[in-house]
Every structure is written in C-alpha cells, then in structure tokens.
C-alpha cells in the first residue's frame, strides 16, 4: 500500500502532520526522506504542535537527537544526515521503545537501523510551494493510520 498527497503550502504539510498525530501511539516511528528544504522539518513542527509541544522545533542537524518530553507523548526528533549511514554506538534503536514518537529526518541513510514496522514519508519538491508526499506504511498499525487520515 502506498499513498501520494500533493501539498501546495507549508500549512497543508502541517495539517497532514496533525492528522497523522491524531492517530499517534507509543513507540510510533516516522521516517522522513527528501532533499534539503523539502518539508521534513515543517512536517515535524506540525506534528509537535499537535502533541502540545510549545518549544520551537528546529532540525537537530548538529545534535542528531533532540528530545521534547513535554507533549501528550514524548517526541524524539532525529536528523541522521551527518552520520553517513553509520549509527553504531549512538543508541538510536533505544528510542524505538521509550514510549514516545520518533521522527527521523534522512532516515533513508540508515536503513539497517530502522525498525521493521514504521511509516516512511518521502518528500519531493515540485516548485517553491508544492510538494508530493509519498506514504509507505510498514506494518498493520501504519497501514491503518494511512487509511484513517489520508
């Protein structure tokens, strides 16, 4: 199962993130792929807002992992771009069972470290404002989420 949605503004990308957040569950993993400026961090901001997180969400490029514990569920926001596919010793896998939501930017660079069940979202830039988001669920829970909100 794969779904595609075209968004025409940052606000539409935020709305999709908020719709997915409405189906959240502990240990949810969302993997984001796409070029720089394609909307990955905008998506994460929308998801965080819907969780009730009031902190400013920025890409954790230099930190790799930022933790936001003060929402309905904790949010673990990762940017693995700088790891060059080598996530050994960082403990990324430990976050998959911490009871929160994990959102990983550049997840396609660390395929061997990702859980089998997850939601992949691929962002493709069409023009200055438009994006195509391709949703690829891995596992029944993620298929149900896509069916409910897309």
Confidence of residue 60 (pLDDT cuts 50, 70, 90): confident
Query: Residues of the chain with pLDDT > 90: what percent?
Result: 88
N-term to C-term CA, the chain: 12
Tokens 């189906």 correspond to what residue? 23
Q: Please state the rounded mean pLDDT for residues 124-148.
A: 97
Cα separation, 147 vs 77, whole angstroms = 24
Q: Tell me what pLDDT residue 12 has.
A: 97
Q: Tell me what pLDDT residue 25 has.
A: 97
Taking domain 3-149, whether its CATH number is 3.30.70.2860 is answered by no
pTM: 0.96
């Amino acid at each position: 199962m794969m779904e595609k949605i075209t968004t025409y503004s940052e606000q539409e990308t935020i709305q999709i993130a908020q719709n997915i957040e409405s189906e959240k569950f502990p240990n949810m993993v969302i993997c984001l792929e796409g070029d720089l400026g394609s909307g990955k961090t905008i998506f994460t901001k929308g998801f965080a807002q819907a969780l009730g997180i009031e902190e400013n969400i920025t890409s954790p490029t230099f930190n790799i992992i930022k933790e936001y514990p003060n929402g309905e569920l904790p949010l673990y926001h990762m940017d693995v771009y700088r790891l060059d596919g080598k996530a050994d010793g960082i403990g990324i896998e430990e976050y998959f069972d911490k009871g929160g939501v994990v959102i990983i930017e550049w997840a396609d660079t660390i395929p061997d470290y990702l859980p089998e069940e997850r939601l992949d979202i691929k962002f493709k830039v069409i023009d200055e404002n438009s994006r195509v988001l391709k949703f690829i669920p891995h596992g029944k829970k993620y298929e149900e989420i896509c069916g409910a909100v897309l």
